[in-house]
Amino acid sequence: MSADIPETFSFTRELGLRLKELRIRAGLTQADVAELMGRKRVQVTRLEGGHNPNPKIGLVADYLRAVQAHFDDLSDLLRKYTSLPRPVEVETRSRVVEMLRDLPTRPQKQADSYDIETSLAIRFGKKRRPLDPETRLKRVQTAAQAAVLNDLLDRMLKQELGNMHGVFQTERWTALAPFGRKVWSVLRRTISKKPETRERNLAKVLEQWSARNPELRQAFEHVLNAVHAYFKMLEQRGDLSWKPAYVSVKKKQKRRRRLEIQ
C-alpha cells in the first residue's frame, strides 16, 4: 500500500479543522457545542483536533446539528477520500510497476499506459468492480510482451529501411514501415498454423499492398523477406514467448504467511 494512500478511512486533522471553521462561523465555543450536543467538551476537542480517528457517524451528525451545518459542508473532503483507488487497486498497481520496471523505456510506457487506461475505464465505467489482481497482471504482461516485440520490430525496420534507401529509389517510404508491421501481424496471427497457411496469407498481403502501390512491389518483397527472416530468428531463440515475470497472488500470499510465521 502506498504511503500516500490510506488503506482505510480515518477522521483526519483536515476534517477536524473544517468542523472548527463551521463552529466559528456559527459563533460558538467548544463549550457551547458540547452543551448543545449533550456531550462532554473533550469529545468536541478531540474531534476538532483530529485525535478521534474513527468517530461514530452519530457524533459527527450531532456536531453538525449543533453548529447548524450539514454533511454537505464536508463533502469535498469526504469525496477526496472516496475518489481514491481501492486498496486492491493500489496493491496491484504497485505490482504492475514492479513487473515493468526493467523493460526498455518505450515498451514500458506503452504497457504502463495500457494498465492506467484500462483501470480508469473500469473505475468509471458501468461495472465498478476492479479486475481480479491475477487477471489484471496477466493482461498487462501480455500488453508488455506485445510492446517489447513491436519495439524490436520497429528497430529492425528502421535499420532495414535505412539500408534499403540506396537500393530502392522511391519517395513513398512511409508505406514500407506499415507494410512491415502488417507482415509481422500476419506472422504472429499464424504462428500456430500450417506453413502453407502462413505463406498463403503473406502472399495475399503482398498482392493487396502491391495493387495499391505497384511501383513499390520490389521494396515490399524485400521488407516481407526481411521481417519473415527476423521473425524466424526470434522464434528459434524463444524470444517470441518471452513475458515479464511477476509473482502470482497465491505465491505472494504464501510468502507473506511464511514471513508472519517467522
Q: Is residue 63 part of a domain?
A: yes
How many domains does the structure of the chain reveal? 1
CB 261, CB 253: distance < 8 Å:
no
The helix or strand, by DSSP H or E, that contains position 162, with its residue range, turns out to be helix 133-164
Q: Is residue 31 part of a domain?
A: yes
Q: Please indicate whether residue 203 or residue 251 has the higher confidence score (pLDDT).
A: 203
Q: Is residue 21 part of a domain?
A: yes
Above 90 in pLDDT, residue 259?
no
Domain of 21, in residue numbers: 13-82
Q: Is residue 181 part of a domain?
A: no
Q: Is residue 261 part of a domain?
A: no
Q: 142-199 pLDDT, tens per residue? A: 999 999 999 999 999 988 888 776 555 555 667 899 999 999 999 999 998 999 999 9
Q: Is residue 154 part of a domain?
A: no
Give Rg (Cα) of the chain.
Answer: 30
Above 80 in pLDDT, residue 39?
yes
Q: Of the candidates 157, 150, 74, which has an alpha carbon nearest to the alpha carbon of residue 109?
A: 150
Percent of the chain with pLDDT over 90: 68
Above 90 in pLDDT, residue 84?
no
CATH number, position 44 = 1.10.260.40
Above 70 in pLDDT, residue 253?
no
- Distance between CA atoms of 153 and 87, rounded to whole angstroms? 38
- Distance between CA atoms of 27 and 5, rounded to whole angstroms? 35
pLDDT on residue 6: 78
Q: Is residue 114 part of a domain?
A: no
The helix or strand, by DSSP H or E, that contains position 241, with its residue range, turns out to be none
Say which residues have a Cβ less than 8 Å from residue 57's Cβ, sequence separation at least 6. none
260: pLDDT confidence band, cut at 50, 70 and 90?
very low
Q: Is residue 68 part of a domain?
A: yes
Above 60 in pLDDT, residue 262?
no
- Distance between CA atoms of 94 and 132, rounded to whole angstroms? 14
251: pLDDT confidence band, cut at 50, 70 and 90?
low
Average pLDDT (20-40) is: 97
